[in-house]
């Protein structure tokens, strides 16, 4: 019994080390005063961060990514609210098939979607590739995730809450605004954050559909060819890790607040 | 002068797909009445209530509320309010916001609305609870908030779907009394759904007993208890003993019956309230209408003999299962326990007093 438990502990430690050790290495090299990514460390510098801040193309890429990710988050969450509400509250013909097709991008290889969309865009619309087309592609990918989160939120709503509001004189729309939306708000926030994160680090679609407009992942990938640029990339990655941790904390805060406010049981969040 | 009923249901049918949930409901519910829908699970009580509230469309028939046709009138435009079984308290709002929810479109000033909310809270015994978070209330408190929230709109009809079923026994009994008081105070027509026959008897002016989408009997509690129209109704409300009987003639409002184990007797035709079904006749009587006679006690009317098969002691009452001479199945007799009166042992022989006036004939 005892030795068995130890084995599992070792396994858990190895697993976590494999997962997180590389991420801890990022800031190490980002502050290391050397162009080569190797031990031993040389000395402390913030030079790479300065270089990062001075890089105009990089800033452009970050801005592109922010625009794409926020637009995608808002767009896919909005669409997901409609879809999740419809699928949990109403029965309609072909519901299973429609929902199945909407959720398909979850399992469809992205490269397939990227090529298909690219061909259609180029053939039908000419050369319109840019931020807008990336946003469209990302929305396609993010919406199923948002639906998965929001369906759970809508599902856990007691139907009689809506009926009570309606019974008390509200119409369908005001019931949605006053009762349903506030109660699924934690789900909406989660959906926004997840869509934002997925869009932020998505590479394949962004690379195919972006034309000459690089997002951050596309830019980073392009820079990896130049060994000199790698410490700067390490600095960028360090910033990304910091931002991710912040987002995670915000998401968890909203989730807990939602749970506390409605007096539900804390069942552990999506994040 | 006859007043128009508050609610008129005329041949109401409801189908869920192929399932015939309401099978021709006819009932008039008077203004200011405490009316109950009583029946076993799945008989269509909730469906009928939701039909009145406007949450379900009916397949055919007429629903009139306060002399107005309700066809095409949605739930938010009907003069009814509902207390849901789950209470449906809005968890993200305070108690006061919950109670005042229905006043949002009310043209009165905020101060007047606040006053109305405070009054409603006081009425249900939750004075000073307004600022509390609604999700932090106990079951009984939620129920009160739900009541206040519905009553603040002064509906013509208050619909309650098993409002007490989630409460424990003590609290339930207290709330029953409170609900009756509240109903008398506000004078609003209450329609209560319950599957608890005791609750229905205690609270209602009239009760509709439903089976399988139909009203089997609609009467005041006493009539329902004393003169059930069918064995099914009799069985559902309290306990009733049945003995096989043979009808030997009917004349001048009297029926002569031969009852197995009791003998031949005359009963009034009022004691046969049900329709003639053509099946085998039987006589029913409640456990408390028979009396176990103690040594030397004389019967006031008729008497027979039997043997005690089972004794169940309840404190204030004792239930005896007694096998009457000549009858295979024992009948249940309930006796109030009074000082000086011994509780019989199992296997004891006993005399049993009965009266023809307490019998009900099913034929
Ligand atoms: N939306 C629905 N779709 C299909 N069938 C339904 C629907 N609602 C109710 N039914 C059926 O109609 C019948 C009556 O249901 P209803 O809820 O009115 O029963 P009830 O008397 O309130 O029972 P309970 O005491 O269990 O609440 C049940 O057999 C139920 O399965
Ligand atoms: Mg029900």
Partner residue facing A262 (CB), from B53, B75, B92: B92
Q: What is the reported pLDDT for A270? A: 46
What mean pLDDT comes out for the span B50-56? 94
Q: Which amino acid residue places its CA nearest to atom 9 of ligand 1?
A: B47
Q: Is B319 an 8 Å CB contact of chain A? A: no
Residues of chain B with CATH 2.40.50.140: 239-362
**CATH number assigned to the domain comprising residue A149:** 1.10.3720.10
Q: What is the reported pLDDT for B334? A: 94
| Predicted confidence (pLDDT) per residue in B200-221, tens digit | 999 999 999 999 999 999 999 9
Q: What is the reported pLDDT for B285? A: 94
Ranges of chain A with pLDDT below 70: 1-4, 261-271
Q: What is the reported pLDDT for B41? A: 92
Q: What is the reported pLDDT for A51? A: 81
Which has more confidence, B296 or B15? B15
pTM of the model: 0.81
- B276 has a pLDDT exceeding 90: no
Q: What is the reported pLDDT for A268? A: 46
Residue A29 is assigned to a structural domain of this protein: no
Q: Which of A97-106, A249-258, B115-124, B272-281 has the lowest mean pLDDT?
A: A249-258
Nearest ligand (C-alpha, residue B160): 2
How far apart are the C-alpha atoms of A98 and A189, rounded to whole Å? Answer: 25
Atom of ligand 1 nearest to the CA of B49: 18
Work out the burial of residue B199: count CB atoms within 10 Å of its CB; fewer than 13 is exposed, 13-18 middle, 19 or more buried: buried
Q: Output the 3-class SS for B109-164.
A: CHHHHHHHHHHHHHHCCCCCCCCCEHHHCCHHHHHHHHHHHHHCCCCCEEEEECCC
Residue A42 is assigned to a structural domain of this protein: no
Distance from CA of B154 to the nearest CA of A (A): 11
**Can you read off the two tokens belonging to residue A99?**
């929902």
How far apart are the C-alpha atoms of A192 and A188, rounded to whole Å? Answer: 6
Q: What is the reported pLDDT for A70? A: 95
Q: Which amino acid residue places its CA nearest to atom 20 of ligand 1?
A: B42
How far apart are the C-alpha atoms of B223 and B219, rounded to whole Å? Answer: 6
CA dihedral A153, A156, A162, A164 (to 10 degrees): -150
Strands across the sheet containing B189-194 = B80-83, B157-161, B189-194, B34-38, B206-211, B214-219
Burial A160-191 (b: 16+ CB within 10 A, else e): bbbbbbbbbbbeeeebbebbbebbbbbbbbbb
**In whole angstroms, how large is the CA radius of gyration of chain A?**
23
Q: Is B88 an 8 Å CB contact of chain A? A: yes
What mean pLDDT comes out for the span B234-243? 92
Q: A8 CA to middle of ligand 1, Å?
A: 50
Residues of chain B with CATH 3.40.50.300: 5-232
Residue A250 is assigned to a structural domain of this protein: yes
What range defines the domain where residue A88 resides?
48-262
Q: How many domains does chain A have?
A: 1
Q: What is the reported pLDDT for B200? A: 94
Evaluate the omega torsion of the peptide bond into residue B196 and state whether it is cis, within 30 degrees of 0.
Answer: no
Q: Identify which of B14, B147, B73 has the alpha carbon closest to the alpha carbon of residue A164.
A: B147
Mean confidence (pLDDT) of chain B: 91
Angle formed by the axes of helices A131-155 and A181-200, nearest 10°? 140
Partner residue facing A167 (CB), from B81, B135, B136: B81
Which has more confidence, A259 or B183? B183
- Ion ligand 2: residues, Cβ under 5 Å: B 46
| Predicted confidence (pLDDT) per residue in B83-114, tens digit | 998 899 999 999 999 999 999 888 899 999 99
ipTM reported for the complex, 2 dp: 0.82
- B158 has a pLDDT exceeding 90: yes
**Can you read off the two tokens belonging to residue B9?**
């249901």
Residue A186 is assigned to a structural domain of this protein: yes
| Predicted confidence (pLDDT) per residue in A33-50, tens digit | 877 777 777 778 887 888
Strands B254-259 and B80-83: unpaired
How far apart are the C-alpha atoms of B78 and B58, rounded to whole Å? Answer: 15
Q: Which of B12, B17, B19, B214 to mutate to test the pocket of ligand 1 (most atoms within 8 A of CB)?
A: B19
Residue A43 is assigned to a structural domain of this protein: no
B86, A158: Cβ pair inside 8 Å?
A: yes
CB A188 within 8 A of CB A77: yes
Q: What is the reported pLDDT for A3? A: 55
How far apart are the C-alpha atoms of B16 and A270, rounded to whole Å? Answer: 37
**Can you read off the two tokens belonging to residue A141?**
């990918």
B239-362: which CATH topology? OB fold (Dihydrolipoamide Acetyltransferase, E2P) (2.40.50)
A182, B92: Cβ pair inside 8 Å?
A: yes
Q: What is the reported pLDDT for A17? A: 92
A160, B75: Cβ pair inside 8 Å?
A: no
Partner residue facing A179 (CB), from B82, B84, B90: B90
A160, B88: Cβ pair inside 8 Å?
A: yes
Q: What is the reported pLDDT for B252? A: 87
Residue A37 is assigned to a structural domain of this protein: no
Residue A39 is assigned to a structural domain of this protein: no
| Predicted confidence (pLDDT) per residue in B291-318, tens digit | 998 878 887 889 899 999 999 999 889 9
B76, A166: Cβ pair inside 8 Å?
A: yes
Closest residue of B to A172, CA-based?
A: B76
B92, A168: Cβ pair inside 8 Å?
A: no
Q: Is B336 an 8 Å CB contact of chain A? A: no
Residue A79 is assigned to a structural domain of this protein: yes
Work out the burial of residue A261: count CB atoms within 10 Å of its CB; fewer than 13 is exposed, 13-18 middle, 19 or more buried: middle
Angle formed by the axes of helices A47-54 and A56-89, nearest 10°? 80
Angle formed by the axes of helices A181-200 and A56-89, nearest 10°? 140
H helices, E strands: number in chain A: 12, 0
Its CATH architecture, for the domain B5-232, is 3-Layer(aba) Sandwich (3.40)
How far apart are the C-alpha atoms of B117 and A110, rounded to whole Å? Answer: 56
């Amino acid at each position: 019994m005892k030795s068995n438990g130890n084995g599992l502990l070792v396994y858990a430690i190895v697993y976590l080390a494999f997962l997180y050790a590389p991420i801890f290495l990022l800031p190490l090299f980002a502050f290391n005063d050397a162009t080569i990514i190797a031990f031993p460390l040389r000395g402390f510098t913030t030079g790479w961060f300065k270089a990062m801040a001075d890089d105009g193309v990089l800033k452009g890429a970050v801005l592109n990514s922010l625009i794409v990710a926020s637009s995608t988050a808002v767009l896919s969450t909005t669409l997901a609210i409609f879809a999740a509400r419809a699928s949990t509250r109403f029965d309609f013909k072909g519901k299973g098939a429609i929902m199945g097709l909407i959720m398909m991008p979850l399992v469809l290889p992205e490269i397939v979607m990227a090529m298909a969309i690219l061909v259609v865009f180029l053939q039908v619309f000419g050369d319109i590739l840019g931020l807008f087309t990336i946003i469209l592609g990302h929305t396609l990918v993010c919406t199923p995730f948002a639906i998965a989160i929001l369906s759970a939120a809508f599902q856990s709503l007691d139907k009689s809450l809506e009926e009570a509001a309606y019974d008390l004189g509200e119409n369908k729309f005001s019931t949605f605004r006053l009762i349903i939306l506030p109660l699924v708000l934690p789900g909406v926030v989660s959906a926004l954050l997840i869509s934002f994160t997925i869009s932020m680090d998505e590479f394949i679609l962004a690379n195919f559909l972006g034309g000459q407009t690089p997002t951050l992942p596309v830019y980073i990938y392009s820079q990896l060819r130049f060994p000199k640029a790698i410490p700067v990339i390490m600095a960028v990655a360090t910033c990304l890790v910091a931002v991710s941790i912040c987002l995670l904390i915000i998401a968890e805060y909203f989730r807990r607040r939602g749970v506390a406010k409605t007096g539900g049981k804390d069942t552990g969040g999506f994040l | 002068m006859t007043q128009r009923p508050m609610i008129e249901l005329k041949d109401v049918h409801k189908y869920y797909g192929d399932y015939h949930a309401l099978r021709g409901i006819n009932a008039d519910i008077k203004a200011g009445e405490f009316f109950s829908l009583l029946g076993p699970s799945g008989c269509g009580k909730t469906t009928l209530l939701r039909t009145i509230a406007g949450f379900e469309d009916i397949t055919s028939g007429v629903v009139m509320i306060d002399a107005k046709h309700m066809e095409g009138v949605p739930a938010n435009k009907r003069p009814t309010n509902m207390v849901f079984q789950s209470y449906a308290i809005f968890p993200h709002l305070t108690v006061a916001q919950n109670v005042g929810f229905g006043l949002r479109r009310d043209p009165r000033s905020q101060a007047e609305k606040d006053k109305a909310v405070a009054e409603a809270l006081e009425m249900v015994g939750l004075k000073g609870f307004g600022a509390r978070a609604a999700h932090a209330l106990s079951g009984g408190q939620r129920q009160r908030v739900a009541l206040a929230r519905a009553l603040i709109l002064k509906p013509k009809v208050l619909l309650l779907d098993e409002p007490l079923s989630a409460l424990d026994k003590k609290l339930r009994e207290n709330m029953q009394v409170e609900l009756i008081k509240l109903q008398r105070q506000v004078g609003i027509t209450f329609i209560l759904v319950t599957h608890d026959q005791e609750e229905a008897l205690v609270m209602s002016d009239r009760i509709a007993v439903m089976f399988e989408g139909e009203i089997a009997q609609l009467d005041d509690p006493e009539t329902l208890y004393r003169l059930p129209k069918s064995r099914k109704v009799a069985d559902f409300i309290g306990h009733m003993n049945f003995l096989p009987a043979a009808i030997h003639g009917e004349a001048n409002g009297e029926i002569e019956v031969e009852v197995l184990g009791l003998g031949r007797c005359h009963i009034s035709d009022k004691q046969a309230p049900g329709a003639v079904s053509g099946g085998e006749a039987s006589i029913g009587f409640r456990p408390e209408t028979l009396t176990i006679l103690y040594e030397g006690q004389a019967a006031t009317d008729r008497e027979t003999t039997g043997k005690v098969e089972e004794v169940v002691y309840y404190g204030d009452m004792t239930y005896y299962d007694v096998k009457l001479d000549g009858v295979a199945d024992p009948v249940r007799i309930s006796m109030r326990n009074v000082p000086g009166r011994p509780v019989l042992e199992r296997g004891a022989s006993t005399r049993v007093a009965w009266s023809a006036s307490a019998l009900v004939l099913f034929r």
